[in-house]
Copies of this chain bind each other. A is one copy, B any other.
Amino acid sequence: MAVVAKWMCDRDNSMFDNKKDADAYDKMLELAEGFSALLQQHIPDVDETKAEEFGIFLAKNKEAIMQACKGRVEALEEIDSQAIDNVRPLSAQAS
């Protein structure tokens, strides 16, 4: 038997084997929450779970968003549709 170090992101209790991945995930969720909050401010009647998922989608694709903001708008269209399928609600990730 051995004791193994794990890292938990306390935003949703996700577990990671190394601190770097946990930090990256935490930062992604922080950005996602920022986007979700903006969306909910602007469209108050939006479904909360869907707003969270959309925030995570934007955060996971921040490289494309930065490119688009710099002028290459088509970067948004190039976001792999697989990325959409990979988005999971926070509740599912936390379980």
Residues of A within 8 A of B (CB): 27, 30-31, 34-35, 37-39, 41-43, 46-47, 50-51, 53-54, 57-58, 62-63, 65-66, 68-71, 73-74, 76-77, 79, 84
Contacts and interface: CB of A to CB of B under 8 A. Distances in A.
Contacts of A46: 43, 46
A36 to B, nearest CB: 10
A62 B34 CA distance: 14
Contacts of A27: 71, 73
B31 A69 contact: yes
A73 B30 contact: yes
A42 B36 CA distance: 13
A77 B34 CA distance: 7
A50 B57 contact: no
A62 to B, nearest CB: 4
Nearest to A61: B38
B79 A31 contact: no
